[in-house]
Amino acid sequence: MIFLVLSVVTFVVSGLLFALLERRWPARGRRAIGGALALELPYVLLSNALPGWAVGRLGAALHVAGPLPALPMVVQWLVVLMVTELTFYAVHRAMHTWPALWRLHAPHHAPAEMDWLAGFRKHTGEALLHGLAPLPVLVLLGPAVEVMLFHTLFGVVLTGFTHLNSSVRLGWLEAVLVTPRVHAWHHAVAVEDQRRNLAGKLTVLDRVFGSWSGVRGWPAAIGLADGVGSRDDWRTTHGLRRGASQ
């Protein structure tokens, strides 16, 4: 439960900072915060917090005495980071390759406005896939609980940060870390752009596996063709009610 509580607190605190950055240095027009919260909060709770909690509970139940706790905390986290990044990249690339998986991933690309809240727009099935993919390796490695807690909170912050609607620049970090200017191109309307910049946190994976496209300013349009699904709420995305207005 502590993971879930701290994740919510981290979401709120980082969200306030991101909202201020978007207001001060917006890259594109901003959504009204009230409407954005009403649309995206169910995704935050039902497609992020709840699956994350469930996968965390499963991991705790399967926990074994692995080799990682003998290493310093920083080294443990770097190992966890690479394991989760590799599985994220593999699953993400598959979602942009196989139609059956694309149907799960398409809701994440539907928003026509890029901002920190839109980063949490996803199908619950996608969240579960990303959570379960690294679980067998992490269970066998057995990292310390504190390491997994830090990694969870780091992921909450990075999810909002990489989708930030802000022109703020980070210098040399943009060559290492996935930043808003890097990730915005992954959300461009053109399919060829959506199949680039697939990494979740570290750009090195895109460079190694040939999916890097670099930073070229900002894309002219975000989302799916003709705004498909841009205003779909959580129930519509999950087939619990008929399509929303566009």
The pLDDT tens digits of the residues spanning 35-74 come to 899 999 999 999 999 999 999 999 999 988 899 999 999 9
The pLDDT score that the predictor gives to residue 47 is 97
Give the number of other Cβ atoms within 10 Å of residue 202's Cβ.
Answer: 18
Asked if the model's pLDDT at residue 215 lies above 80, the reply is: no
Three-class DSSP category at 219: coil
Q: Please choose, from the candidates 232, 40, 187, the residue with its C-alpha nearest in 3D space to the C-alpha of residue 121.
A: 40
Query: Could you tell me the two tokens for 59?
Result: 């991991």
Query: Could you tell me the two tokens for 71?
Result: 């290493």
Query: Could you tell me the two tokens for 219?
Result: 């894309």
Q: Assign 245 a pLDDT band (cuts: 50, 70, 90).
A: very low
Rounded to the nearest angstrom, the gap between the alpha carbon of residue 17 and the centroid of all alpha carbons in its chain is 18
pLDDT tens-digit series, residues 149-180: 999 999 999 999 999 998 777 788 878 899 99
Q: How high is the mean pLDDT of the chain?
A: 92
What is the average pLDDT across 119-135?
97
Asked if the model's pLDDT at residue 32 lies above 90, the reply is: no
Q: Are 182 and 205 in contact (CB under 8 A)?
A: no
Q: Assign 124 a pLDDT band (cuts: 50, 70, 90).
A: very high
Helices 73-95, 99-109: axis angle to 10 degrees equals: 110
Could you write out the DSSP letters of every residue in 168-184? ---GGGGGTB--HHHHG
pLDDT tens-digit series, residues 98-118: 999 999 999 999 999 889 999
Longest dimension (CA), the chain: 54
The pLDDT score that the predictor gives to residue 2 is 83
Asked if the model's pLDDT at residue 209 lies above 70, the reply is: yes
Asked if the model's pLDDT at residue 243 lies above 70, the reply is: no
